[in-house]
């Protein structure tokens, strides 16, 4: 790998991991506020909602995006055997860093307490919105550096299948490109002028609809780099081969088509959008679960094949033969535990998507329970494991304290399951999300005290503390690995990728263009009428609010 590219990738991995210290700290504080262990509006000089914003923006936006770009750089340059434009990769990194610093500074100064969804009428400082815009543009540039390399590769390898890892990374960034255009419009044309005081208010329905057009594909942008690891690394780490190459390609192409036209399932409770269009997008949402189910069966078959290679046998007995605690394959449990967690994240997603059941759990603690089994499950564990793998590999260092490194994903899994159990139970009993419960519902001195929420919030708190402990152990491993002396005389670092057991050659999944075309047509079909109605409606512009008060900011003295 080009030395400059190596430096860029290392920066893209290490900077967000350093920020994760704050992201994780504010996660642990959240469960303590919610369980009533902290009964205050702020802790350590940071307000509850400010901390929640830092937690969401750092963990769900900065960490995930910079990891996806770093992984893409590493896989595209390795698999297409070609140098990348250092100018492009450097510009991408520079813009993302500047954007992240601008957004983080505003959050920590208390001028962007708008949560990671930043939807109005919560209002942030213009620098926060500009930072977000620069961050997104930086991530776009990564894709633009890969496209010429890919086109050159296709020309020089006529008739050859594009490596699956590259297909997966391109699918990820095609979805990102489609998803971020509406949110760029929202940020630059609606929120920024409002924040600068050039417009009196914002059309909240339009803004939320543009946000969720982005917000749902965003979750697949988080997930797909990890699917790349599942399809291309996990079978080999397990000691076998990918059961079907076609399944992987079909799954990535299906995500391109189905990731965007279904954001309305986050707006089932929003007024101003006809129920009929919410129903249409419900059907599409249920369809987007299909590529994940395809992935579940393909990976289970791949794991079974690998287990048989390792001497496993029997209808279920083969599960015992997988390398759960192997020192050589310490990365395996990071991916495997993520899969186990995702089974439950996926099932609860289908419950959320079921229009009428959604009304029971919308805006309750159930929702963070669901998404901590998705983004904080497979995605986060994949990022932790693969970052450690890439950082130590690129620096030629050994992974230190391997038993501790092996323990991290299992402790994390126990933590997420405990945390989510508490929040699922609480959610079903009406416990709200994004609420400082310690001040009210978990405060015996408050008239709104809910003693029946004590158990669920405390189960959640125990889970959150276990998760915090797992991250602490991870940092011990990372720092000790960074401090270890570099190895000499080792073979150049490459990412080990799996061969395919069934290496099918199916023409329909070899070209992105038809899939992107169908995706665009489907987006127009699913969004044209609701968007037209929202734009035509003359909603009163909303004044700015802060999340801690029901009174518009202008009326707060
Ligand atoms: Fe979701 C809300 C529906 C997937 C993240 N979701 C959220 C939010 C986030 C999020 C962050 O329809 C909150 C946003 C906010 O702040 O308001 N979600 C779905 C559906 C899926 C889904 C249908 N979500 C994800 C993924 C996420 C994510 C992935 C992050 C990465 N979600 C919703 C809905 C809402 C929502 C509504 C709005 C709710 C509301 O009211 O606000 C599907 O894509 C899920 C399909 C997945 C599967 C599982 C496949 C299983 C696999 C594992 C196989 C395991 C093996 C190993 C082989 C069908 C691949 C087994 C081994 C053993 C030993 C057991």
pLDDT by 10s per residue, the chain, length 557: 888 999 999 999 999 999 999 999 999 999 999 999 999 999 999 999 999 999 999 999 999 999 999 999 999 999 999 999 999 999 999 999 999 999 999 999 999 999 999 989 899 999 999 999 999 999 999 999 999 999 999 999 998 999 999 999 999 999 999 999 999 999 999 999 999 999 988 899 999 999 999 999 999 999 999 999 999 999 999 999 999 999 999 999 999 999 999 999 999 999 889 999 999 999 999 999 999 999 999 999 999 999 999 999 988 999 999 999 999 999 999 999 999 999 999 999 999 999 889 999 999 999 999 999 999 999 999 999 999 999 999 999 999 999 999 999 999 999 999 999 999 999 999 999 999 999 999 999 999 999 999 999 999 999 999 999 999 999 999 999 999 999 887 888 999 999 999 999 999 999 999 999 999 999 999 999 999 999 988 888 888 888 877 888 877 66
pLDDT of residue 333: 97
Query: Pairing mode, if any, of strands 46-47 and 42-43?
Result: antiparallel
Contact 140, 97 (CB under 8 A): no
Q: Could you give the residue numbers annotated as active site?
A: 216, 220, 370-372, 433-434
Is residue 64, in this structure, part of any structural domain at all?
A: yes
Report if residue 236 sits inside a domain: no
Q: What is the pLDDT of residue 557?
A: 61
Q: Which helix (H) or strand (E) holds 96?
A: helix 86-108
Tell me the CA–centroid distance for residue 374 and ligand 1, in Å.
6
88 in a domain, yes or no?
yes
Mutation probe of ligand 1 site: the residue of 371, 376, 380, 434 with most atoms within 8 A of C-beta = 371
pLDDT at res. 370: 97
CA 222 to ligand 1: nearest atom: 31
> Residue 178 domain-assigned?
no
- Residue 224 in domain: no
Phi and psi at residue 430, to the nearest 5°:
95, 5
Ligand 1 pocket test, candidate residues 352, 377, 416, 428, most atoms within 8 A of CB: 352
- Using most ligand atoms within 8 A of CB, pick from 374, 413, 416, 424 the residue to mutate for ligand 1: 374
Residue 430 resides in a domain: yes
Residue with tokens 């595209």: 76
The total domain count for the chain is: 2
Domain end residue (candidates: 477, 494, 511):
494
Contacts 24+ apart (CB under 8 A), 465-468: 465/28, 465/31, 465/415, 466/411, 466/414, 466/415, 466/418, 466/419, 467/24, 467/27, 467/28, 467/376, 467/412, 467/415, 467/416, 467/419, 468/24, 468/25, 468/27, 468/28, 468/415
Enumerate residues lining ligand 1, CB below 6 A. Answer: 117, 219, 222-223, 265-266, 285, 288-289, 292-293, 295-296, 299-300, 339-340, 342-343, 346, 349-350, 352-353, 358, 362, 367, 370-371, 374-375, 379
Cβ atoms 398, 392 nearer than 8 A: yes
Question: Pick from 96, 125, 160: which residue ends a domain?
Answer: 160
Helix (H, G, I), strand (E, B) or coil at 502: strand
* Alpha helix segments (H runs only) across 118-203: 126-156, 164-185, 192-195
Q: Residue 40 — φ and ψ, nearest 5°?
A: -160, 165
User: What is the spatial distance between Cα 227 and Cα 216, in angstroms, rounded to a whole number?
Assistant: 17
Backbone angles phi, psi at 145, to 5 degrees: -80, -25
SS (H, E, C) 455-474: HHHHHHHHHHHHHHHHHHHH
Instruction: Write down the pLDDT at residue 548.
Output: 77
Per the structure, the complete domain to which residue 465 belongs is given by 332-494
CA-to-CA separations, 55 to 46, 52, 104, 186, 365, in angstroms, rounded: 12, 5, 11, 22, 16
Domain-terminating residue out of 97, 127, 160: 160
Q: Which three-class secondary structure state does DSSP give residue 360?
A: helix
For residue 244, give the 3-state DSSP assignment: strand
Ligand 1 atom, smallest distance to 378 CA: 31
pLDDT confidence of residue 537? 86
Q: Ligand 1, atom 43: nearest CA belongs to which residue?
A: 289
The label of the residue with tokens 């997008």 reads 281
- C-alpha distances (whole Å) from 36 to each of 282, 415, 439, 548 are 36, 19, 7, 17
Atom of ligand 1 nearest to the CA of 230: 60
Residue nearest to atom 7 of ligand 1 (CA): 371
Taking the alpha carbons at both ends of the chain, their separation in whole angstroms is: 58
In a domain, 73, yes or no: yes
**C-alpha angle with apex 141: 139 to 145, nearest 5 degrees?**
125
| Residue identifier of the C-alpha nearest atom 52 of ligand 1 | 296
**Rounded (10°) angle between helices 380-394 and 454-483:** 10
- Asked if 282 and 293 count as a contact pair (C-beta separation under 8 A), the reply is no
3-state secondary structure of 122: strand
Q: What is the Cα–Cα distance from 226 to 424, expressed in whole angstroms?
A: 25
Report if residue 115 sits inside a domain: yes
Which residue in this structure is represented by tokens 């997966």?
A: 168
């Amino acid at each position: 790998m080009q030395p400059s590219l190596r430096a860029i990738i290392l920066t893209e991995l290490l900077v967000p991991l350093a920020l994760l210290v704050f992201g994780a700290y504010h996660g642990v504080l959240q469960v303590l506020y919610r369980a009533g262990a902290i009964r205050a509006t702020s802790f350590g000089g940071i307000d509850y909602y400010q901390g929640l914003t830092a937690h969401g923006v750092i963990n769900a936006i900065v960490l995930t995006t910079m990891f996806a770009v770093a992984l893409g750089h590493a896989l595209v340059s390795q698999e297409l055997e070609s140098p990348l434009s250092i100018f492009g990769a450097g510009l991408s990194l520079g813009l993302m860093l500047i954007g992240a610093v601008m957004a983080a500074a505003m959050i920590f100064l208390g001028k962007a307490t708008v949560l990671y969804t930043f939807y109005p009428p919560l209002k942030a400082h213009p620098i926060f919105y500009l930072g977000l815009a620069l961050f997104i543009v930086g991530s776009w540039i990564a894709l633009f550096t890969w496209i010429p390399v890919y086109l050159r590769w296709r020309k020089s390898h006529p008739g050859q299948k594009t490596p699956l890892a590259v297909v997966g990374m391109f699918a990820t960034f095609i979805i990102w490109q489609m998803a971020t255009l509406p949110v760029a419009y929202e940020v630059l044309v609606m929120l920024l002028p409002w924040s600068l005081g050039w417009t009196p208010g914002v059309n909240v329905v339009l803004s939320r609809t543009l946000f969720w057009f982005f917000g749902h594909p965003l979750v697949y942008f988080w997930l797909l780099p990890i699917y790349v690891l599942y399809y291309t690394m996990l079978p080999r780490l397990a000691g076998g081969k990918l059961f079907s190459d076609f399944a992987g390609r079909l799954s990535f192409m299906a995500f391109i088509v189905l990731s965007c036209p279904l954001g309305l399932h986050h707006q089932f409770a929003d007024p101003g959008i006809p129920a009929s269009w919410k129903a249409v997008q419900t059907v599409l949402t249920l369809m987007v679960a299909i590529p994940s189910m395809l992935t579940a069966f393909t990976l289970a078959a791949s794991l079974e094949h690998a287990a048989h290679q390792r001497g496993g046998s029997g209808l279920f007995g083969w599960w015992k033969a997988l390398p759960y605690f192997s020192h050589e394959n310490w990365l395996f449990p990071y991916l495997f535990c993520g899969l186990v967690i995702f089974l439950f994240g996926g099932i609860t997603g289908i419950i959320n998507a079921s229009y009428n059941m959604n009304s029971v759990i919308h805006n309750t603690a159930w929702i963070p329970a669901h998404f901590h089994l998705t983004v904080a499950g497979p995605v986060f564990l994949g990022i932790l494991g693969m970052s450690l793998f890439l950082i130590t590999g690129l620096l030629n260092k050994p992974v230190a304290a391997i038993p501790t490194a092996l323990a991290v994903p299992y402790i994390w899994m126990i933590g997420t399951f405990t945390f989510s159990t508490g929040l699922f139970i609480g959610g079903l009993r009406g416990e709200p999300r994004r609420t400082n419960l310690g001040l009210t519902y978990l405060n015996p001195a408050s008239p709104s005290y809910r003693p029946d929420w004590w158990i669920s919030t405390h189960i959640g708190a125990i889970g959150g503390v276990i998760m915090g402990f797992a991250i602490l152990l991870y940092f011990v491993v990372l720092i000790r690995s960074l401090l270890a002396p570099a190895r000499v005389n080792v073979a150049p670092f490459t990412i080990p990728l799996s061969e395919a057991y069934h290496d099918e050659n199916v023409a329909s999944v070899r070209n992105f263009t038809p899939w992107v075309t169908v995706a665009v047509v489907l987006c127009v079909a699913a969004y044209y009428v609701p968007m037209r109605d929202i734009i035509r409606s003359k909603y009163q512009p909303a004044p700015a609010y802060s999340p801690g008060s029901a009174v518009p900011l202008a009326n707060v003295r």
